[in-house]
Chain A
Amino acid sequence: MTTNAPTMTAKTATQNACKLCNPLGACLAFRGIEQCVPFLHGSQGCATYIRRYLISHYKEPIDIASSNFNEETAVFGGSHNLKLGLKNVSQQYKPRVIGIATTCLSETIGDDVPMILKEYEAIMGGAANLPVMIFASTPSYSGTHIDGFHAAVRSAVKTLAVGGAKKNLVNLFSGMISPADIRYMKEILTDFGMPFMLLPDYSQTLDGGPWAEYHRIPPGGTPTSAIADSGCASASIEFSSTLEASKSAAGYLEAEFGVPRHQLPLPIGIKASDRFFAVLEELTELQMPEKYEDERRRLVDAYADGHKYIFGRKAILYGEEDLVISMAAFLREIGVVPVLCASGGKSGLMKKRMLELIPDLEEQGIEVREGVDFVDIEHEAERLQPDMLIGNSKGFTMSKKHDLPLIRIGFPIHDRFGGQCLHHLGYRGTQELFDRIVNTVIEERQKSSPIGYTYM
């Protein structure tokens, strides 16, 4: 089979989108900065919809302020509303940082937010009296939620980082990963004895414990002082396959302060995790701690124990481009064929990056599609007859209709419990994913067997 398969139905409208909008990603990233309130410059609805969407996944309170455009604002500009909004949110939330992202509306009317912020600063008697303002431009008509996420991270660094004498410090820009993955990454860096700055860190702000009183801003997050230090780091590691230096935080630090940028695919699977650990070994001049050697050994062992169940099984994979790329490489590593790798994003780089990781992509009959929606994917599912779907919850309807098991990964997970606790990265995350894939196949076999074996 070649990748020149029949093209999908040419269509104009997006049907059941496999992507979200730009400011959602920015709000998520802002939630990973200590004492930061996300603020959307636009109308009320966007903020509310994004809140409820994030809440359904993280099951945590998520306060996002909005400048609440009305008809006048839309006509005469949002300057007044933004200033009033910033004042109100400062008063009510007492934040140390306000993360401001635009919406389609404020972008279209052409509000010059940096200028408005300057004016606001002047009115309020200087920046010293105010929270730090981080601003990201996030119009949804160009880009998806992942672009907003990266834009916010880059802005945070751009706003806060200062240069200076090099420190024994590594920056980790881990991308849009689960809180559980963030905790695991921090554990690894700690075990290497390496001082680090991980941004954004929503491992606690979006997955914390119970409260005795309402925290206007939940505890946790990357401290601004740490972000400031990122300019003096000895290196940055950035998980992403498609993120270009000009749009990334690590790229900024490299250009501005000469901090070397190590761009790595999300470390899913043994090979990709090895690569990540190799970079850590190189940066710390230390060997991988025994604990991770153990994790790796157990994983290799599991690969052997489980390989026969899954060899040659076909999967349809969808979600953010970076996640899909790394997951596909992992699936190839265990013998599963990701017959369709699909994303609603449109970086234009997906296929190229995948070819680097999976050189025999075409021979394997793996199709790569950018800018697709769930109706496209479903259409392809009918043709490709996969054994399973791997992606977020939004594929459930398709999975039910076609009686295909769905292995939930990434974001959003709205129809299962504990989406924020899923591991995807490193040996530990790969182990979890591997177990789920094997068990899914075993369960299917068990279900379809007339005998009902209790040993499988």
Chain B
Amino acid sequence: MDTQNINLLEGREKQVYEKTAGGAEIEIACDKTSLSGSVSQRACVFCGSRVVLYPVADAIHIVHGPIGCAAYTWDIRGAVSSGPELHRLSFSTDLQEMDVIYGGEKKLYKSLVELIDQYQPNAAFIYSTCIIGLIGDDIDAVCKKVAKEKGIPVLPVHSEGFKGTKKDGYKAACHALMKLIGQGSTEGISKYSINILGEFNLAGEAWIIREYYEKMGIEVVATMTGDGRIDDIRRSHGATLNVVQCSGSMTTLAKDMEEKYGIPYIRVSYFGFEDMSKSLYDVAQHFPDRPDIMEKAKEIVRDEIRKYYPEMQKFKAALTGKKAAIYVGGAFKTFSLIKALRTIGMSVVLAGSQTGNKQDYKNLKEMCDEGTVIVDDSNPVELSKFVLEKEADLLIGGVKERPIAFKLGVGFCDHNHERKIPLAGFIGMYYFAKEVYESVMSPVWQFAPRKGGLR
């Protein structure tokens, strides 16, 4: 591949790799902070924390800092709740010049007290943003004080944007959750029980997953954090097994829980028939003394696939031979997507992520076909280049990638936290295939310049 003509920035060469027969084996560089001046698609530490904790619906989330960070994350995720909806509000201490000069602790304290009085939440999360890290507000002390006064957990989340990458934000969020876990009573929790981790109930996905497990006769103690409730989280250490999706965000929590409470964890994915089925079997296998659980899992898989199979064949017939490019947040998601795309006859020509680690990229390299480009922390210039060069028919990504695809006349599928259609589970695979089909097969692309539509 000619990387010369898009002039990859110095310092980024090792984050782009093309798999070729007999090509040089390089180790893809990752876990680096983004290069200054590159238009990274990544966000910040705060974003990572916010993403993980956001769906906790009976807590208030207060962003301590100037207004922007809160304004831009107001009602941003498609995470739905079956009850309270405090997570959909945006609270900020909205620091002004004087607060920056004299410190924002007083304002934070007052804000907290007022908001807790007004909304009566079961807990409060306080996110400290860049500027707080700089002016050095002691948010821990404020949180402690308010927690004592109000009798609810008030949890500081140290998520100063500049102090690392999104991954560090995940850690900060897990850290805050760890403080809740272990606080509640575990009485009455079944031996056949799990927590669902890293599932955020976007478009109701957690409900779909939960139903499968419950049908298998398994108790779900807490979903973290989709449709999340403080009380469930507090007693989640009573579960027998942690089932972790989205490896990046919550493996830390699973590991901490294993260490502290001896709860083992497994990693799963709910995207695509293959991975979804496996995630049911893997959980069932964890309860060997109850063969009925496995039986039930098999039954679910059978029934569900039978239900969607004919439709899927239709999509597959149309999509076979089409090419997809993937650029999503976590690399683990990419694996599932590659498999899911293969089920509908599509190949993958670009596979990238914002936050993959060494092992992820190693796996990706093994999984991908020859000619596939693998990238870490990419930018619009690179992405568009690969999409065009590889003649992709579809790009899978988030809000910031969508206009790149559409400008260039390429189909698109939202696979980020804003989506409104569930893509997880068996039914999710059907929706996914349908969305891909509707975008790739749309007649509008005939007018795209790259299809000769230029006049």
Instruction: Point out residues on A near B: beta carbons under 8 Å.
Output: 11-17, 19-24, 39, 42-53, 55-56, 59-71, 73-74, 81-82, 84-89, 91-93, 103-105, 108-109, 139-142, 144, 210-214, 216, 375, 394, 397
Contact = CB atoms under 8 A, between A and B. Distances in A.
B46 A17 contact: no
8 contacts: A45-B130, A63-B39, A66-B37, A68-B37, A69-B162, A88-B36, A212-B449, A213-B408
Interface string B350-387: 00000000000000000000000000000111001100
Nearest to B43: A48
Contact of B114 (A11, A42, A109): A11
B201 interface: no
B19 interface: no
A49 B72 contact: yes
Contacts, number: 240
Contacts of B400: 48, 51-52, 55
B36 A67 contact: yes
Interface string B127-164: 00011011100000000000000000000000001111
Contacts of B133: 74
Interface stretch (B91-99, B230-238, B252-260): B91-99
B355 to A, nearest CB: 13
A86 to B, nearest CB: 6
A45 B43 contact: yes
Nearest to A67: B36
Contacts of B90: 15-17
B35 A46 contact: no
Given A91-B7, A212-B454, A71 B162 contact: yes
Given A11-B114, A105-B162, A81 B36 contact: yes
A56 B71 CA distance: 14
Contacts of B181: none
A49 B69 contact: yes
Contact of A16 (B74, B93, B118, B407): B74
A12 B114 contact: yes
Given A70-B33, A73-B162, A108-B134, A14 B70 contact: yes
B35 A68 contact: yes
Top 8 closest pairs, chain A to chain B, by CB? A45-B44, A88-B37, A21-B68, A85-B37, A214-B384, A212-B449, A13-B111, A49-B72
A92 B62 contact: no
A85 B36 contact: yes
A141 B134 contact: no
Contacts of A12: 93, 107, 110-111, 114
Contacts of B100: 104, 108, 141
A17 B37 contact: no
Contact of A60 (B33, B107, B407): B407
A142 B10 CA distance: 37
A61 B44 contact: no
A96 B111 CA distance: 45
Contact of A91 (B9, B41, B92, B449): B9
B115 A92 contact: no
B310 interface: no
B38 interface: yes
B38 A65 contact: yes
Interface string B67-109: 1111111110000000000001111111111011000000100
Given A11-B114, A13-B114, A210 B35 contact: no
A214 B37 contact: no
B26 interface: no
A89 B402 CA distance: 22
B5 to A, nearest CB: 11
B66 A61 contact: no
Given A14-B70, A85-B37, A216-B380, 19 more contacts: A13-B115, A17-B70, A19-B67, A21-B72, A23-B68, A44-B33, A49-B69, A63-B379, A66-B34, A85-B36, A86-B37, A91-B9, A92-B9, A104-B66, A108-B100, A141-B96, A211-B408, A213-B408, A214-B384
Given A49-B43, A69-B162, A86-B37, A20 B399 contact: no
A61 B43 CA distance: 16
A56 B37 contact: no
Residue among B72, B107, B135, B399 having the largest count of chain A Cβ atoms under 10 Å: B72
B450 interface: yes
A327 to B, nearest CB: 22
A394 B71 CA distance: 10
